[in-house]
Amino acid sequence: MPDPSSATAGFSTRQVHAGTEWADASPRALPIFLTAGFTFDDFDHAAHHFQTGVGFGYTRTGNPTIDALERKLADLEGGADAVFVASGQAAVSVALLALVGAGDHVVASTHIYEGTRGLLLDNLARLGIETDFVDDVADPAAWRAASRPNTRVFFAESISNARNDILDIAAVAGVADDLGIPLVVDNTFATPYLLRPLQHGAAVVVHSASKFLAGQGAALGGVIIDDGRFDPVRSGALFPHLVAASRSGAPSVAERHGGRARIAYVRESVAPRFGPSPSPFNAFLVAQGVETLSLRVRQQSANALAVARWLARRPEVTSVDYAGLPTHPHHAVARRYLTRGFGSVFQFTLAGGEEAARRLIESVEVFTHMTHLGDVRSLVLHPATTSHAQHSEEARRALGVHPGTLRLSIGIEDVDDLLADLDRGLGLPQSDAAVTAVEVLA
């Protein structure tokens, strides 16, 4: 066969094959392996890859850029292994589908992301998976009371949307452990910089990497991180898909992967089959973001505490749901778990109701009006008419979402500018606003 890049080959052959070898170099930044698949060295290499899963063959089952990000995130959360997927919603879906099937039962916190609530109530329900909800997430007895013999997973958020409830991870994980089932924690709001749920007994952590991990609002992603401590002796009967031989009679996932059976099942079976594969380019963007995670989250948490304190002193504001304030019902739990800061997403309620909320949203200039969080930019949203619009008014009230409630995600800007912007939003003349901001910061 002629050298396909030499002039003896035809133009169409050369446009595909010429110039496809690159110089050996060792980039310091994470290279983006933006390729559908990988070449095999020889005949046996291909067979070995297909038999063992070792190495890289096709990007849906493995990619070096994604692999590097997975190891970084597993390390930061203190986990044994991680699987990166296309979005936070994909991470929640894949984590749950690896644990539950028809006839199984989930116990979840009432105070979770709306997309996750919908997944449980609409989509998993159609697959024969039922969910009961726990309202007082800090009470381990409530979790125990909601569980049944067919309960296979507890699900909650470390810091919740919208009321800023703080999960007592150790207490709830203790109940899950008694039942031989995993506690899955969505740690999106806290990030591993503020809180590492696996250290407190959670078995699995999920994130929307689209938020703080990416940090700049440019890419979606999600991750599932496992503690690697699945116990087939205690829990094998509850999770037969992990301990049964494969369809072809090969050894079970637990026999091949031991304590890492859960995450191996995610990687080998659920993620590649349901197929929410991330782009290696997005994995690169998230990895870039994670390199500055601590700096951003520290600044965001400090800014958020200042903004929450400032709002709490304003006569126009009836309540501020921020766990960093001593008035928050979970402040004591927050102090135990969040020693580096209380996060930067919270809501507050205006006495003037929806009209005052509309006025604030339409007058702020530094805050961006959008549905996203964890961005370097400060963001504002009116939950009652957007994220929580499909609830009844009564259900919204129970979640702490009132007509005058606004959700903030605080960014890394100079805090004086954020306070001046909120002042503008509250409708004070600019001269008075400046005085007020200075007084409160003093």
Q: Which residues bind ligand PLP (CB under 6 A)?
A: 87-89, 92, 113, 115-116, 157, 161, 186, 188-189, 208, 210-211, 220, 222, 373
Q: How far is the CB of 384 from ligand PLP (least distance, A)?
A: 18
- Asked whether the bond before 162 is cis by omega within 30 degrees of 0, the reply is yes
Nearer CB in complex with ligand PLP: 243/345: 345
Question: Nearest-5° angle of CA 303, CA 346, CA 278?
Answer: 95
Q: Calculate the alpha carbon distances from 427 to 251, 348, 407 in Å.
A: 67, 16, 18
Residue 11, Cβ density class (10 Å: 0-12 exposed, 13-18 middle, ≥19 buried)? exposed
What is residue 286's three-state secondary structure?
Answer: helix
Nearer CB in complex with ligand PLP: 162/426: 162
Contact 270, 100 (CB under 8 A): no
Nearer CB in complex with ligand PLP: 119/238: 119
Nearer CB in complex with ligand PLP: 7/218: 218
Between the two ends of the chain, the Cα-to-Cα distance in Å is: 79
State how far Cα 310 lies from the chain centre.
28
Q: How far is the CB of 282 from ligand PLP (least distance, A)?
A: 11
Contact 321, 350 (CB under 8 A): no
Contact 413, 378 (CB under 8 A): yes
Residue of closest CB approach to ligand PLP: 88
Q: How far is the CB of 345 from ligand PLP (least distance, A)?
A: 8
Distance of alpha carbon 360 from alpha carbon 405, whole angstroms? 11
Q: Calculate the alpha carbon distances from 84 to 170, 242, 417 in Å.
A: 26, 21, 36
Q: How far is the CB of 382 from ligand PLP (least distance, A)?
A: 17
Distance of alpha carbon 237 from alpha carbon 159, whole angstroms? 32
Residue 180, Cβ density class (10 Å: 0-12 exposed, 13-18 middle, ≥19 buried)? middle
Distance of alpha carbon 271 from alpha carbon 70, whole angstroms? 14
Nearer CB in complex with ligand PLP: 205/360: 205
Q: How far is the CB of 371 from ligand PLP (least distance, A)?
A: 9
Q: At what angle do helices 293-312 and 415-426 cross, to 10 degrees?
A: 40
Nearer CB in complex with ligand PLP: 214/242: 214
Read off the DSSP letter of residue 30.
P
What is residue 68's three-state secondary structure?
Answer: helix
Q: How far is the CB of 383 from ligand PLP (least distance, A)?
A: 13
Q: How far is the CB of 367 from ligand PLP (least distance, A)?
A: 18
Nearer CB in complex with ligand PLP: 343/425: 343
Q: How far is the CB of 368 from ligand PLP (least distance, A)?
A: 16
Q: How far is the CB of 369 from ligand PLP (least distance, A)?
A: 17
Nearer CB in complex with ligand PLP: 288/436: 288
Q: Minimal CA–CA distance to 300: which of 166, 409, 210, 213?
A: 409
Q: Could you tell me which residues come within 8 angstroms of residue 249 by beta carbon, excluding any fewer than 6 positions away?
A: none
Nearer CB in complex with ligand PLP: 168/186: 186
**DSSP string over 223-239:** EEEE-S---HHHHGGG-
Nearer CB in complex with ligand PLP: 113/284: 113
Nearer CB in complex with ligand PLP: 310/337: 337
Q: How far is the CB of 223 from ligand PLP (least distance, A)?
A: 10
What is residue 288's three-state secondary structure?
Answer: helix
Q: Calculate the alpha carbon distances from 87 to 66, 84, 233, 240, 268 in Å.
A: 13, 9, 33, 28, 18
Q: How far is the CB of 276 from ligand PLP (least distance, A)?
A: 9
